[in-house]
Amino acid sequence: MTSYAAYGTNLDPIRMGERCPHSPLQTTGWLTGWRLTFGGEEHGWDGALATIVQDPLEQVFVALYDVSLQDEPVLDEWESADSGLYRKTKVRVATLTGSVVAWTYVLDAYEGGLPSASYLGVLADAAEAADAPDDYVAALRRRPCRSSGL
């Protein structure tokens, strides 16, 4: 098994359990030196897609999962890594028990664009389900988003 750092919809342990039933939640933590952002608006069905970029002043809340060899290709397909939309990268996650090296997905597109309100709501709900701090969830809910009329 390898450690996977989820920062988007896979933060939700129930959703991740449905997608990857052989990959248990390990813990939660922070990607320090990274920022949650959005990009690839032309690739999303309803606005820009979540990704992370390096930023020395920021941090991103993540859930760490032990991903089984059986579930990894399923997750790659779900996250569009098999099509090249997202690529895998290694990151260091700070947890309460120490530092863990994990992989995550990074959008292979330009940063920019707005996510839809519904997508942003799903991300905030997923962070809440993973017990992210209240201020982190609130900041997600306050982010600018596309109106449904676009």
119 is in an annotated binding site: yes
Give the count of beta carbons closer than 10 Å to the beta carbon of residue 108.
16
**What ranges make up the beta strands (E) of 11-139?**
25-39, 49-67, 86-95, 98-107
Nearest to 25 by CA among 46, 56, 4: 4
Active-site residues, by number, are: 79
Backbone angles phi, psi at 82, to 5 degrees: -70, -20
* Binding-site annotation: residue ranges for substrate: 119
